[in-house]
Amino acid sequence: MFLAVISRELRIAARNPGEWLQPLFFLLVVITLFPLGVGPSPLLLATLAPALIWITALLAVLLSVDRLFRDDFEDGTLEQWVLGSGPVWLNSLAKVAAHWLLTGLPIVCLSPLLCVMLNLDYQWIPTVALSLLLGTPILSLLAALGGALTVGLRQSSALLPIIIMPLMVPVLILATQAIGSSLNGGTFFLWLAALLSFSLTFLPLAIAISLKAAVSR
């Protein structure tokens, strides 16, 4: 069932490539324009690069999550999940996994290019990529939780950032500190890994409860 949901989501994404390409284009456009705005100083760009990469990655994830559950809510798929025999949390986790494959994984793959564009030394590429590899799944889970809480509500796209942004701040802080700290970077990566484990354990359950509540309204 898990793989079937992922396969379904990937087929839908293949028919609508603009929906998942838009956040990636947004990421590249911001990273490209930023040096033009602050100036070409290599030292300044290298100093701001970790925070800029992570802020744009966070916003790209938010841009791509608005329709994560809304279409399934409108066509009755969510109701079938709730009334069916399969666990809702597993289907929800599969949706999040597909979302990460379409959004988070491409951001991780683009990290070497982003580092080069922001004048980071090549030695920082593995560090940036590892922080994104650990952090973007957490962002996808948190964004999915916000999507589940607001599905079926009017102006859900306006409510989503208000609900989710405060929860994403710790991930942003840990990830940027992991990249920028030369002495304690390993400690921050361990915290990110622990937060990822916690999120994978409990957030799918919270998403399932929220979806059940949305269907019963």
Give the model's pLDDT for residue 100.
93
**Residues of 87-125 as b/e, b for ≥16 C-beta within 10 angstroms?**
ebbebbbbbbbbbbbbbbebbbebbbebbebbbbeeebb
Report if pTM > 0.75: yes
CA distance 89 to 202: 10
Is residue 18 pLDDT above 80, yes or no?
no
Write down the pLDDT at residue 168: 92
The predicted structure's pLDDT at residue 157: 67
Which tokens belong to 37?
């705005």
Nearest-10 crossing angle of helices 17-38, 105-117? 20
Choose among 163, 97, 162: nearest CA to 136. 97
The answer to whether residue 122 scores a pLDDT higher than 60 is yes
Confidence of residue 193 (pLDDT cuts 50, 70, 90): very high
pLDDT above 80 (res 181)? no
Q: Return the pLDDT at 162.
A: 83
Residues 81-85: contacts with CB within 8 Å, 24+ apart? 81/211, 82/211, 82/212, 82/215, 82/216
Res 101: pLDDT: 92
Q: How far is Cα 147 from Cα 149, in angstroms, rounded to an integer?
A: 5
- Which residue did the predictor score with more confidence, 40 or 183? 40
Retrieve residue 75's tokens: 């066509």
- pLDDT at position 163 is 84
For residues 111 and 132, give the distance between their C-alpha atoms in angstroms, rounded to a whole number: 8
Q: What's the Rg (C-alpha) of the chain?
A: 18
Task: Give pLDDT, residue 180.
Answer: 76
Query: Residues 21-41: what's their mean pLDDT?
Result: 85
Q: Under a CB-based contact definition with an 8 Å cutoff, are residues 46 and 118 in contact?
A: yes
Report the pLDDT value the prediction gives residue 142, as an integer from 0 to 100.
93
Asked if residue 155 has pLDDT above 70, the reply is no
First to last CA, the chain: 26
Q: What is the pLDDT of residues 79-106, one digit of tens each?
A: 888 777 678 888 889 999 999 999 999 9
Calculate the average pLDDT of the chain.
86
